[in-house]
């Protein structure tokens, strides 16, 4: 039986909440590939290539973690790479309905892959990539919610976008 899992998402940018889920998942799986979705549906701040590079930087010290990108169905990726589980993080009850429907569809596509839901730690349940970008754009301190490398990338990317002109 494979102990390989994938952790798919947009990760725009990766947050400490994502890393919390990853670290706890590493106690269950020996190999986890973070799969960056290539979707433009969410109007990303960072390109797929930038997100892959940033995730590699912030996870380089974690054994058993790889980073990849995939533009198609995640179940096709799972089949191609002999993956037994998909890891999904849940922040609040509002996430569950969408994630449940996606997991149900994925099970129809590939019955051999299980979806594992993990609750984000209580001190991070309110953190989302969208909120991080918004907070940062308006001059808020995001350092408690993202790795240092993410803060540096945000500064370079958003420096001219802040409404007060201070960045």
Residue 45 forms part of a structural domain: yes
Count of domains forming the chain: 1
Q: Would you say residue 51 lies in a domain?
A: yes
- Contact (CB, 8 A) for 51 and 14: yes
> Helices in the chain by DSSP H: which ranges?
16-25, 48-59, 74-80, 93-109, 129-137, 148-158
Residue matched to tokens 């995640």: 74
Q: Please, are residues 2 and 30 in contact by the beta-carbon 8 Å criterion?
A: no
Helices and strands per DSSP (H, E), number in the chain: 6, 5
Q: What pLDDT was estimated at residue 161? A: 53
pLDDT-flagged residues of the chain (< 70): 1-2, 38-42, 159-167
Question: Which domain covers residue 144, as residue numbers?
Answer: 4-158
Question: What is the CATH classification number for the domain harbouring 50?
Answer: 3.40.50.620
Cβ pair 25, 7 in contact under 8 A: yes
By annotation, the residues acting in catalysis are: 18, 42, 91, 129
Whether 166 is in a domain gets the answer no
| Residue at 165 is within a domain | no
């Amino acid at each position: 039986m494979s102990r390989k899992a994938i952790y798919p998402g947009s990760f725009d940018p990766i947050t400490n909440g994502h890393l919390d889920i990853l670290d706890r998942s590493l106690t269950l799986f020996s190999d986890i590939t973070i799969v960056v979705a290539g979707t433009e549906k969410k109007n990303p701040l960072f390109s797929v290539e930038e997100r892959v590079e940033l995730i590699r930087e912030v996870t380089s010290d974690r054994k058993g973690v790889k980073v990849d990108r995939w533009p198609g169905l995640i179940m096709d990726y799972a089949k191609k790479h002999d993956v037994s589980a998909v890891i999904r993080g849940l922040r609040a009850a509002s996430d569950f309905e969408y994630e449940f429907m996606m997991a149900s569809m994925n099970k129809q596509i590939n019955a051999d892959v299980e979806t594992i839901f993990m609750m984000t730690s209580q001190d991070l349940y309110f953190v989302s990539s969208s909120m991080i970008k918004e907070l940062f754009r308006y001059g808020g301190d995001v350092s408690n919610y993202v790795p240092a490398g993410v803060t540096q990338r945000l500064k370079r990317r958003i420096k001219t976008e802040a409404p007060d002109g201070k960045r």
